């Protein structure tokens, strides 16, 4: 399973990139709004200098024609750009039209297996089921990941399942075990995945023993 970083902060992306475990980035207008006036294009190009992988940039138009035009513009910024399009009637048409033009689409706001199936059949490159938001309304978000993976793999569809809206390290583990091809995580999850108190205690004991042995 690959890890993408869910942020528009170039500082957070640079900090995470040094570990060599981030394969792509997902962004959206809400994340960009936190960045203090930087243009979307400028930030996407900055990200492309740091991460050589898919960069999701979200469309905000609401008709199929407008979505396709916006997708063309976003995709023209850099070869690594993947356009994010929400799944609804206009979105499904736009996904089909964009995919026929060779524009890669990340279908976002997926909450049912049927939505995922339709997006995959329309030509989406990535399917983004939102785990945490389903959990918030007492639904099993991770079960949706398992269903989407099963549909894609059973029928040999080309779309990749991207587990989104992950809230804590256990979500990442469960997404990996569920067969998700990608998990997109907020930067705060990376240190949480890395740290464990027993690891810290073990390092301190090794250092103490090394000092006693005169190695330090």
Residues noted as catalytic: 84
Nearest to 87 by CA among 168, 144, 169: 144
Quickly count: other Cβ atoms within 10 Å of residue 33's Cβ: 10
Per the CB < 8 A criterion, the answer to whether 57 and 40 are in contact is yes
Find out whether 104 and 82 touch, Cβ atoms under 8 Å. yes
Phi, psi angle pair for 138, to nearest 5°: 65, 30
Residues 6+ apart with CB under 8 A from 57: 27, 40, 44, 74, 77, 81, 82, 83, 84
**CA separation (Å) from 36 to 10, 66, 144, 149?**
12, 26, 35, 37
């Amino acid at each position: 399973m690959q890890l993408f970083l869910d942020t528009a902060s170039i500082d957070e992306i640079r900090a995470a990139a040094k570990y060599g475990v981030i394969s792509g980035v997902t962004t959206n207008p809400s994340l960009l709004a936190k960045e203090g006036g930087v243009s979307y294009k400028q930030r996407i190009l900055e990200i492309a200098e740091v991460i050589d992988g898919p960069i999701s940039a979200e469309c905000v138009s609401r008709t199929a024609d407008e979505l396709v035009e916006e997708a063309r513009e976003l995709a023209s910024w850099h070869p690594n750009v993947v356009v994010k399009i929400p799944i609804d009637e206009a979105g499904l048409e736009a996904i089909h039209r964009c995919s026929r033009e060779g524009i890669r689409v990340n279908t976002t706001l997926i909450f049912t297996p049927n939505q995922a199936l339709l997006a995959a059949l329309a030509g989406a490159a990535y399917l983004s089921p939102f785990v945490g938001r389903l959990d918030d309304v007492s639904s099993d978000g991770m079960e949706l990941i398992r269903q989407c993976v099963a549909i894609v793999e059973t029928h040999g569809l080309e779309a990749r399942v991207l587990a989104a809206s992950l809230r804590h390290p256990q979500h990442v583990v469960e997404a990996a075990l569920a067969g998700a091809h990608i998990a997109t995580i907020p930067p705060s999850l990376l240190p949480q995945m890395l740290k464990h108190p027993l690891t810290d205690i073990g390092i301190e004991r090794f250092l103490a023993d090394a000092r006693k042995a005169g190695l330090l």
